[in-house]
Structure 1
Amino acid sequence: MAAEVAVERAGELKVRPDGVDDAVWEALGTVRDPELDSPITELGFVSAVLSEPAVLTVELRLPTYFCAPNFAYLMVADAYDAVAATVGEQAVVIRLLDHFASDEINAGVAGGRGFAGSFPGLADDELEELRVTFQRKAHRACQEQVATHLIKTGWAAEDLATASLGDACAGQDLDRLTRRRAELKLPAGPDAPLLLQDDGTPISQLDLPLQLRIAKTTRISIEGNSGLCRGLLSVRYNLPRPEGVDQVATG
């Protein structure tokens, strides 16, 4: 297995296996854990990338042996699609390690059977509905972050119902919000309302306080789960403790 190096970038610890082609690493960086809304490269979920003339193998890992198989399947399938689109004629194998359903997931992704075909009798349909659920959660959390920045610059909370994306502060939070909008096929231009319901209708001034509280709760939940998973992964695989993960998260 390839040696790992810890790389500090923009305040986040990234564990990158030695010798990984930049294009492959960039492709893997487009794959997000659906629940944590973070790239698997930043979470430390990429264990190794092994390149041979005929085949490129990516080994993935998760914080615990019992991580939800539907989330794991999404991650493995998305990694396969992202890398296969990058390497051209080279065959691609994505291998999930140390998980109770590794065999079923790895075989299902390799055979293109989908989640239902990989777990017959246990899955009623494919995972797109689950994916959309988590995309909507991430979108709400991103909206709350951008709205909070505007309030800090002097906007009154009740006036946010009339704000547009063009009013938002430029930066990573706004970039993430526009990407989430594009994924959900919601308006993402500068004239689009800043705050939208899941169905794309603007959030009214009357509903705004409740919707922002719900979105804040969603964001805190995502961030808390992300910290916990990073801590568990660092203990399970003896990795450097990620920045911002306290001692409680890892015991």
Structure 2
Amino acid sequence: MSAPERDALHALGTVVDPELDEPITDLGFVRSLEVDGAAVTVHLRLPTSFCSPNFAYLMASDAKDALTALPWARRVTVELDDHHDSELINRGLAADAGYRGTFAHEAEESLVELRETFRRKAHTAAMERVLTRLLRADRTRTAADLHGVTIGDLPADDATAALLRRRAGIGLGDDPALPVLVDADGTPYPPDEVPLRLRLARSTRISIEGNAHFCRGLLATRYDLEENAS
């Protein structure tokens, strides 16, 4: 693999599926990548032809933005294959029409609003992961005790790093004194709500992880990938 191809693949690895909160490269959504001088062509694929068009557009648009940001890339083409709205989405991407320009009256919310919705879900799931790890590490700690947990109380591990990235994504800080269990605006929940909020956050995390596993299986089946036989 050439250096430009590695650069392009790394750029695609920064693109996260908006619903599953995982890189599209890890999910197998990058069907092909071709670099010819300063031109980059990428084909994307999804587990089914009827995946939500707004999810599909957001992923494809983010992929084009990530590749366009490469200093040497002069022409970037991103196309979505085998989707019921492939023609519409690909035409909009080619024209840089934007989300509303692509879907016109069907776009009920802006791309910014859509992206924010998924970033908040990702933060909720990341928050639950670190707090659940704390409970498992110290069996004397109860859910109610989590009200006083701050960022400085968290271990320096992958889950904490992921949470800090998700916090930054929705505009929250990383000061060690800041509480961990907060809403999307950074406001701590009242102590008596903590067990309920943790359960709701766990439901969000399980839903995201379950969808990711399900989509991997669908993708492997649809395209007869090796993973399907393992």
Counterpart in the other structure of 1:36? 20
Q: Please point out which of 143, 146, 154 is paired with 1:160.
A: 146
Larger deviation, residues 204-213 vs 188-197: 188-197
1:93, 1:110 within 8 Å by CA — same for their partners in 2? Answer: yes
Contact 1:149 1:169 in 2 (8 A): no
1:80 alignment counterpart: 64
Task: Specify the alignment match of 1:169 in structure 2.
Answer: 155
Which structure ranks higher in relative contact order (CA pairs < 8 Å, sequence separation ≥ 6)?
2
Gaps of 5+ in 2: none
CA contact under 8 A between 2:40 and 2:73: conserved in structure 1?
no
Q: Distance in 2 between matches of 1:89 and 1:82?
A: 10
Q: How many residues align?
A: 227
The structure with more helix, counted as a fraction of residues: 2
Counterpart residue type for residue 103 of structure 1: E
Structure 1 stretch displaced more, 82-91 or 45-54: 82-91
Report what 2:214 is aligned to: 228
SS state of the match for residue 94, structure 1?
strand
Q: Give TM-score scaled by structure 1 length.
A: 0.85
In structure 1, list runs of 5 or more residues that go unmatched.
Answer: 1-17, 246-251
- In structure 1, what residue type is equivalent to 2:175? G
In the superposition, the TM-score normalised over structure 2's length comes to 0.93
Matched residue, 1:13: none
Aligned-residue offset at 1:198: 1.7
The Cα shift of 1:232 comes to 0.3
Greater strand share, structure number: 1
Question: After the TM superposition, which segments of 4 or more aligned residues of structure 1 sit over 4 Å from their partners?
Answer: none
Q: Identity of aligned pairs, percent?
A: 47
Question: Offset of 1:152 from its aligned partner?
Answer: 1.6
2:101 to 100, 109, 117: 117
CA RMSD of aligned residues (A): 1.8
Partner of 1:219: 205
The secondary structure found in structure 1 opposite 2:125 is: helix
Q: Tell me, in whole angstroms, the C-alpha distance in 1 between the residues paired with 2:175 and 2:216.
A: 34
Listed as ranges, the matches of 1:25-104 within 5 Å are: 25-104=9-88
Partner of 1:23: 7
